[in-house]
Chain A
Amino acid sequence: AQSVAQPEDQVNVAEGNPLTVKCTYSVSGNPYLFWYVQYPNRGLQFLLKYITGDNLVKGSYGFEAEFNKSQTSFHLKKPSALVSDSALYFCAVRDEDTGFQKLVFGTGTRLLVSP
């Protein structure tokens, strides 16, 4: 069965500093990996995904994520954080080999960017 772990409930960073939100996954086959962001009282917004190819994936709002197969990780990064990046971030995984579309989400990491 596939699973996702987001080890940090909250990440605090000062505006202008780089940020990293961690995610590790477990699947039996090849992973499809996703990052979503949720602002208060809003639905989840798609940020980026890894399917195959280049391990560094670029997404919306200046975010990027690096796929590391040996460490089974897919950490979300941004070179310079903005206060407006403060939100709840979810990592999700799907097992390509199962043929099912079921996404398994992590528990979420709250990012707080201080001015």
Chain B
Amino acid sequence: DAGVIQSPRHEVTEMGQEVTLRCKPISGHNSLFWYRQTMMRGLELLIYFNNNVPIDDSGMPEDRFSAKMPNASFSTLKIQPSEPRDSAVYFCASSLRLAGSDTQYFGPGTRLTVL
């Protein structure tokens, strides 16, 4: 069974360019999460979706960041324009939300470097 799939695994871009990160959640999962991991700030939740609807985007740092989930099997996180301080590892996670607990399963991450 495939886990969460993220692409690309590595992205190097120049300041000012648009960056799009992609995520395919585990089939059958109905919740999707985007996280950012840096040495300074640790692991931060950026946004999450339930049934393709954004529920909490309070972690999105600025208007330069946007996320979409057009269907249950695909989500994007876009940064436009990118800045060097956006350099981080971005993780996507998915879960099956049931009454009670749900466990989040993480993808391998996208390492973003903005020059």
Contact = CB atoms under 8 A, between A and B. Distances in A.
Interface residues of B, number: 25
Contacts of A36: 106
A101 B103 contact: no
A27 B107 CA distance: 27
Given A43-B106, A43-B107, A102 B101 contact: no
Contact of A103 (B104, B109, B111): B104
A108 B100 contact: no
Contacts of B103: 34, 46, 49
Contacts, number: 51
Contacts of B102: 101
Contacts of A32: 101
B31 A101 contact: yes
A105 B104 CA distance: 12
A42 B108 contact: yes
B96 to A, nearest CB: 11
Given A43-B106, A45-B106, A107-B42, A102 B48 contact: yes
